[in-house]
Amino acid sequence: MKLLEVKHINKTFDNKDVLKDINFDITGGRIIGLLGKNGAGKTTLIKLINDLLTPTSGEILVKGKKVGVETKKVISYLPERTYLNKQMKVSEVIELFKDFYEDFDEEKAKKLLIDLDLDINERLTKMSKGMQEKVQLVLVMSRKADLYILDEPLGGVDPATRDYILDTILSNFNEKASVIISTHLISDIERILDEVIFIDKGKIVLQSDADKLRNKEKTSIDEIFRRMFKC
């Protein structure tokens, strides 16, 4: 069964077409890189899947259901910004996730917090932006979701932590789940990708299995991306 179906999605802002006739499917057990330059439409597409934007036309189905309460139960989403109420302590945010998401694993969250050297009793307002992003990643990866959508998960963290985050992503989702990672730091995530979707000017310009693409072009995804989007 298809995990995610995006059918003829168009999104217009102020008469400007931000996404144009986007079509793709995702099945379970894959790690997909949603790759594109800044302003290509990656975040818009992700926000549409997460009900943060309303499509101008087209349809998005998650496990056969339209975006709504049921799809939010199975999607674990990490936005590209810090979005938690900064007055809250980390422990309170964990409590919130436990309250709302049946698939949230509190013990896993606590373990990941310790690994990342984060204090569960600290208020978010006292944490740096990078630390807050780590807390958000912990929360998202502590869910046993079917689809993880990570928008720029590596953007605000130091290179040393990036490897840990990628290992965390790899080791913390179940085999039937899929992960969509949107980033322009392609070389960092290349090693974990099963599939790539290149998006440019609101259109999908390439969708391929990562290994097949590497073999066909005889170079890395990062290099293919650089060639394709050379300014």
Partner 1 sequence: MLNKLLKYDLKYMIKNMMVFYVLSIFFAFTTRLLFNMEQSTMINIIGQISVGCMFSMVISTLINTIMRSWVRFRNSLYKDESYLTHTLPVTKNNIYNSKFIQTLIFFIIGFAIVIISLFIAYYSKENWQAITRYIKTITTGLNMSTTFFVTMFLIIVFLEVFNAIQCGFLGIILGHQRNNNKLGYSVTIGFIVYIIAQTIILGLVYVYGLFDPTVMELFETGNINIEVTAFKTLAVLSSALYIVIIYIMSIICKSALNKGVNIE
E strand intervals along the chain? 4-13, 16-26, 31-35, 57-62, 65-66, 75-78, 147-151, 178-183, 195-200, 203-209
β-pairing verdict for 57-62 and 31-35: unpaired
Q: Segment 47-76, which members bind partner 1 (CB under 8 A)?
A: 47, 50-54, 69-70, 72-73, 75
Interface pick for partner 1 out of 83, 114, 170, 216 (rule CB under 8 A): 83
Interface pick for partner 1 out of 13, 23, 130, 211 (rule CB under 8 A): 13
**Alpha carbon distance 165, 187 (integer Å):** 14
| Diameter over CA atoms, the chain | 51
34 vs 62, beta carbon nearer partner 1: 62
What SS3 state is found at 19? Answer: strand
Interface pick for partner 1 out of 24, 101, 164, 229 (rule CB under 8 A): 101
**Alpha carbon distance 222, 47 (integer Å):** 25
Q: State the binding string over 23-52 for partner 1 (x if CB under 8 A, else -).
A: ------------------------x--xxx
Smallest gap from Cβ 194 to partner 1, in A, equals 25
Give the binding site for partner 1 (CB under 8 A).
13-14, 47, 50-54, 69-70, 72-73, 75, 77, 79, 81-85, 87, 96, 99-101
